[in-house]
Amino acid sequence: MDFTELVSNLAERHAVEGLAAVDGQADIDIDGIPVTLVEDGWSLIAIAEIGTPPAEGRAEFAEILLESNLESAAFFAKTRESGNYVLVQRIALSDLDADTFDAVLQSLANTAETWRNLLADFHPAADQPAADRAAADDANFNAFGAGGFIQV
């Protein structure tokens, strides 16, 4: 299926009115997660919004995102326009059929939602008194896992 067919099929299967590929792009809300779909000739690029960098501990959270890029097919980035974090996944169009497309989008939205929650609950350790740093480190350890990684 080509990009236009995938988007049309998605709109039909899930009764999403107004969803269409226009100039190689489509925007959809998946369970409250805005996702932009872009076709670049041979692949589909899906971009899910994560959110605004934290006011405190920005570098610490960004480092966690960068480390997580090593562990998945999707990767994190920061948009130039809004300055928000996004989760990006590139998939070869030749690998996609309607069911695979649905599964990829749902997985991306689920992962984005997890990271949105982690971002909202983030406790920067560096900006806290030494006595509170251990508690923040424990909270982040429990949220992010032993190596700071979450599989996406």
- The CATH number that applies at residue 73 is 3.30.1460.10
Q: Which residues contact 114 (CB under 8 A, 6 or more apart)?
A: 150
Expressed as residue numbers, the domain containing 121 is: 3-144
Residue 43 pLDDT greater than 50, yes or no: yes
Is position 48 within any domain? yes
The CA distance from 140 to 76, in Å, is: 18
* Calpha distance 117→133 (Å, rounded): 21
Name the domain count of the chain. 1
Q: Report the C-alpha gap between 43 and 128 in whole angstroms.
A: 44
Q: What is the pLDDT of residue 69?
A: 86
Segment 141-151 shows an average pLDDT of 47
For range 27-54, the mean pLDDT: 93
For 41-65, what is the mean pLDDT?
91
pLDDT at 135: 60
Residue 150 included in any domain: no
In a domain, 32, yes or no: yes
Q: 124 lies in a domain?
A: yes
Q: Is residue 152 part of a domain?
A: no
- The string of pLDDT tens digits covering residues 114-142 is 999 999 988 887 655 555 555 655 655 55
| pLDDT value at residue 132 | 59
* Cβ proximity of 96 and 1 under 8 Å: yes
pTM given for the model = 0.79
**Residue 70 pLDDT:** 83
Res 86 pLDDT > 60: yes
Kindly state the helix (H) or strand (E) to which residue 133 belongs, with its residue range.
Answer: helix 130-144
Which residues, at least 6 apart from 10, have a Cβ–Cβ distance to it below 8 Å?
A: 16, 19, 28, 98, 101, 102, 105
By C-alpha distance, which of 43, 64, 39, 48 is closest to 106? 48
Residue 9 pLDDT > 70: yes
How high is the pLDDT of residue 138? 60
What's residue 46's pLDDT? 96
Are 78 and 61 spatial neighbours (Cβ–Cβ below 8 Å)? no
